[in-house]
Amino acid sequence: MHRVADLVADYLESKVQAYPVVPRISPGDVRRQLPPSPPAQGEPIDRILDDYHRVIEPNVTHWNHPGFMAYFPVTGSGPGVLAEALTAALNVNAMLWRTGPAPTELEELACDWYRQMLGLPPEFRGHINDTASISSLLALAAARERAVDLDVRRRGLAGRADVPRLTVYCSDQAHSSIDKAMITLGLGLANLRRIETDGAFRLRIDRLEEALEADRKAGARPIALVATLGTTSSTSVDPIAAMAAIARRDQLFLHVDGAYALAAGICPEFRQHMQGLSEADSIVTNPHKWLFVPVDCSLLYVRQPDLLRRAFSVVPDYLTTTETGVTNLMDYGVQLGRRFRALKLWMVLRSFGVAGLQERIRYHCELARQFAAWVEAEPGLELVAPVPFSTVCFRATPDLPPEHQDRINEQLLERVNAAGPVFLSHTRLRGRYVLRLTVGNLRTTPAHLERAQQIIRTAHSQALATYAP
Ligand SMILES: *Cc1c(COP(=O)(O)O)cnc(C)c1O
């Protein structure tokens, strides 16, 4: 135990920063260093920890590194790490209130605390899933369940002449988890309408109206809209209020995917981007992304929890209990058993406090704005999207045809990441290759961003100098 505590403390306090963010290894290198078959007899824990230290720790991509600015960074903060250790010690499975009274009640409480922090009305009830992908899947299952006349729970969708195509609408920037939900729920990818976005990558309401009308004319039945609050590529925010008005008018279910950026909603000044949010039917946000809770922790808020129970509750004899008026978390989704994730959320909320969390979110957005200002001032680089939160999309713009520009940007990213101290990622916007930098790690300071700028500047001139069309 003591040695593990030391390994954790050394890693978080200093060692993580000494590693390159992405390990310099090739596929297969890790397995080659480990025996192919299990030991017949038990081994001493010290020897196992030696191998952990030698083979595992150096060969992870260091998501807890302050130079990790790719995708959406995460932070396993101190209180979150301690909570994970306590969770493992308790090893409780709160599928029913009876099998985990404190975990069940703490989950409801922590979700409600966070709801209050986000300024959401009290009718939203939250529960915790592993990922936003699962939260959005459950939300769309609730949307499908709301179409009572279809009786999908019992009759399914296949082999029925009485069910029209059921269509769902999101923007062309929506996350791939919405596609996966369509696949899993039997709604079909062809029935997900990806609506064109405007110049700032927000869903176009006029195009949404056209798609709804065309589908209805063709005999389809629209069931849900998915608005993204902070798209994965550029953190754009769809016009939620206008989508809510359409959802109300047409009796569609409105799900809001705020996996990353909704965390900024704890700061009142960011809620200007989020108007209409309170009118959603469901909202997902991941405290494991930008709220310093260790992976995994995704929160799904629903206005009518009854829809989830109607969609999913199945109680076999061996799971019946006698308590009344309690929540049995197994009723709210697909899985029966569940990790006790509320403890880490609760411990993080308590130890930072609302003001402490707001301060960090604001700081990250400020660092991102400073980086964006640097990009704008840097010759040969340009910003590709607005910066509403802490993500900056940018690219090099050499005087070459677009495909060559893309190649140079790809090479620029490779060079930046090969340097070691920072890790950025890429996306495509309007078909063009774009670099992405997000500030979201608790330990990221201005020094890390200055380092990123130096590395980008050097890599930029090298990429231009060595480019051979
Ligand atoms: C990261 C992300 C997701 C998926 O998150 P998981 O928790 O990994 O499933 C979904 N939507 C958006 C907008 C995201 O940024």
Distance from the alpha carbon of residue 283 to the mean position of ligand 1, in angstroms: 12
**Helix, strand or coil for residue 102?**
helix
The band of 247, judged by pLDDT with boundaries at 50, 70 and 90, is very high
> Domain containing 141: what range?
84-348
Measured distance CA(422)–CA(197) in Å, rounded: 31
Span from the CA of 74 to the centroid of ligand 1 (angstroms): 12
Does pLDDT of 319 surpass 90?
A: no
Collapsed DSSP state (helix, strand, coil) of residue 321: coil
In tens, the pLDDT along 50-60 reads: 999 999 999 99
Confidence grade of residue 357 (pLDDT, cut at 50, 70, 90) = very high
Does pLDDT of 396 surpass 80?
yes
Euclidean distance between CA atoms 86 and 90, whole angstroms:
6
| Ligand 1 nearest atom to the CA of residue 288, by list position | 7
Cα(275) to ligand 1 centroid in Å equals 21
Q: What is the mean pLDDT of residues 307-332?
A: 90
Interatomic CA distance for residues 193 and 169, integer angstroms? 5
> Domain for residue 56, yes or no?
no
pLDDT at 1: 78
- pLDDT cut 90: percent of the chain above it: 95
Do residues 150 and 144 touch, judged by C-beta distance below 8 A? yes
Joined together, the tokens standing for residue 389 give 């939160």
Q: Is the peptide bond before 296 cis (omega within 30 degrees of 0)?
A: yes
Among the ranges given (14-18, 126-130, 204-208), the one the predictor scored with the smallest mean pLDDT: 14-18
**For residue 3, is it within any domain?**
no
Question: Which pLDDT value is given to residue 41?
Answer: 97
- Ligand 1 centroid to Cα of residue 391, in Å, is 15
Question: At residue 286, what are phi and psi to the nearest 5 degrees?
Answer: -110, 100
What is the distance between the terminal CA atoms of the chain, rounded to a whole angstrom? 57
Exposure string (b/e) for 394-404, b if CB count within 10 Å is 16 or more? bbbeeeeeeee
Residue-wise pLDDT for 336-354, tens only, equals 999 999 999 999 999 999 9
User: Model confidence over 289-302: pLDDT tens digits?
Assistant: 999 999 999 999 99
Whether the CA torsion 114, 118, 119, 124 is positive or negative: it is negative
Q: What is the DSSP secondary structure assignment for residue 68, as one 8-state letter?
A: B
Q: How far apart are CA 191 and CA 163, in angstroms?
A: 13
- Does 374 map to a domain? no
Give 132 Cα–ligand 1 centroid separation in angstroms: 5
Which ligand 1 atom minimizes the distance to the CA of 175? 11
Contact 168, 147 (CB under 8 A): no
Nearest CA to ligand 1 atom 4: 132
Q: How many domains does the chain have?
A: 1
**Residue 433 is assigned to a structural domain of this protein:** no
Structure tokens at 153: 């729970």
**pLDDT > 70 fraction of the chain, expressed in percent and rounded:** 100
Q: What is the pLDDT of residue 318?
A: 82
Q: Which of 131, 290, 425 to mutate to test the pocket of ligand 1 (most atoms within 8 A of CB)?
A: 131
Please list, in sequence order, all residues whose beta carbon lies within 8 angstroms of the beta carbon of residue 76, skipping any fewer than 6 positions away: 12, 63, 64, 84, 292, 294, 295
Examine residue 448 and state whether it is found in any structural domain, yes or no.
no
- Stretch 354-379: mean pLDDT, rounded? 98
Instruction: Give CA–CA dist 166/319, Å, rounded.
Output: 34
Cβ atoms of 403 and 451 closer than 8 Å: no
Protein residue whose Cα sits closest to atom 15 of ligand 1: 232
232 close to ligand 1 (CB < 6 Angstrom): yes
CA nearest neighbour of 78 among 13, 19, 18, 16? 13
Q: Quick one: average pLDDT of 431-441? A: 97
Residue 201 carries which side chain, given as an amino acid letter? F
Residue 176 resides in a domain: yes
Cα–Cα distances (Å) from 300 to 211, 281, 325, in that order, read 28, 11, 21
Token match 């991941």: residue?
286
Answer positive or negative: Cα dihedral of 355, 283, 231, 176: positive
**Max CA distance (Å), the chain:** 74
Is 80 exceeded by the pLDDT of residue 179?
yes
| Residue 273 confidence class, pLDDT cut points 50, 70, 90 | confident
CA of 327 to the centre of ligand 1 (A): 27
Q: What is the pLDDT of residues 137-172, one digit of tens each?
A: 999 999 999 988 899 999 999 999 999 999 999 999
Q: What is the pLDDT confidence band of residue 322, given thresholds at 50, 70 and 90?
A: confident
**Residue 237 CA to chain centroid, in angstroms?**
15
What is the domain-level CATH number for residue 158? 3.40.640.10
Q: Which residue out of 175, 197, 273 has the highest number of ligand 1 atoms within 8 Å of its CB and is therefore the one to mutate?
A: 175
Ligand 1: does its nearest atom lie under 6 Å from the Cβ of 298?
A: yes
CB of 129 sitting under 6 A from ligand 1: no
pLDDT at 19: 96
Q: Whose CA is nearest to atom 1 of ligand 1?
A: 259
Task: Quote the distance between the C-alpha of residue 327 and its chain's center.
Answer: 26
pTM: 0.96
Q: Which of 148, 8, 61, 159 is nearest to 424 (CA)?
A: 61
Residue among 129, 134, 232, 295 to mutate when testing ligand 1 (max atoms within 8 A of CB)? 232
Q: Output the pLDDT for position 281.
A: 98
Ligand 1, atom 8: closest residue by C-alpha: 131
* pLDDT of res. 468: 81
The residue nearest atom 5 of ligand 1, judged by CA position, is 132
Cα separation values, 255 from 232, 259, 297, 368, Å: 16, 12, 18, 28
Which of the four pLDDT bands, split at 50, 70 and 90, describes residue 25? very high
For residue 131, tell me if it sits in a domain. yes
In a domain, 49, yes or no: no
Give CA–CA dist 459/456, Å, rounded.
5
Kindly give the pairing relationship between strand 166-171 and strand 192-195.
parallel
CA proximity to 200, closest of 462, 10, 384:
384
Distance of CA 361 to the CA centre of its chain: 16
Which amino acid is it at 358?
A: Q
The band of 325, judged by pLDDT with boundaries at 50, 70 and 90, is confident
**C-alpha span between 164 and 218 (Å, rounded):** 10
Which letter, b or e, does each residue of 135-154 get, where b requires 16 or more Cβ atoms within 10 Å of its Cβ?
bbbbbbbbbbbbbeebebee
Cβ of residue 131 lying under 6 Å from some atom of ligand 1: yes
Is the C-beta atom of 259 inside 6 A of ligand 1?
A: yes
Instruction: Grade residue 42 by pLDDT with cuts at 50, 70 and 90.
Output: very high
Helix pair 342-377, 101-118: axis angle to 10 deg: 30
Predicted confidence band at 306 (pLDDT cuts at 50, 70, 90)?
Answer: very high
Q: How confident is the model at residue 320 (pLDDT cuts 50, 70, 90)?
A: confident
Please spell the DSSP secondary structure of 150-203, one letter per residue: G-HHHH-STT-TT---EEEEEETTS-HHHHHHHHHTTS-GGGEEEE-B-TTS-B
Share the mean pLDDT of the chain.
96
Given a cut of 80, whether residue 316 has pLDDT beyond it is yes
Identify any residues that bridge with 127 across adjacent strands, giving them in sequence order.
Answer: 300
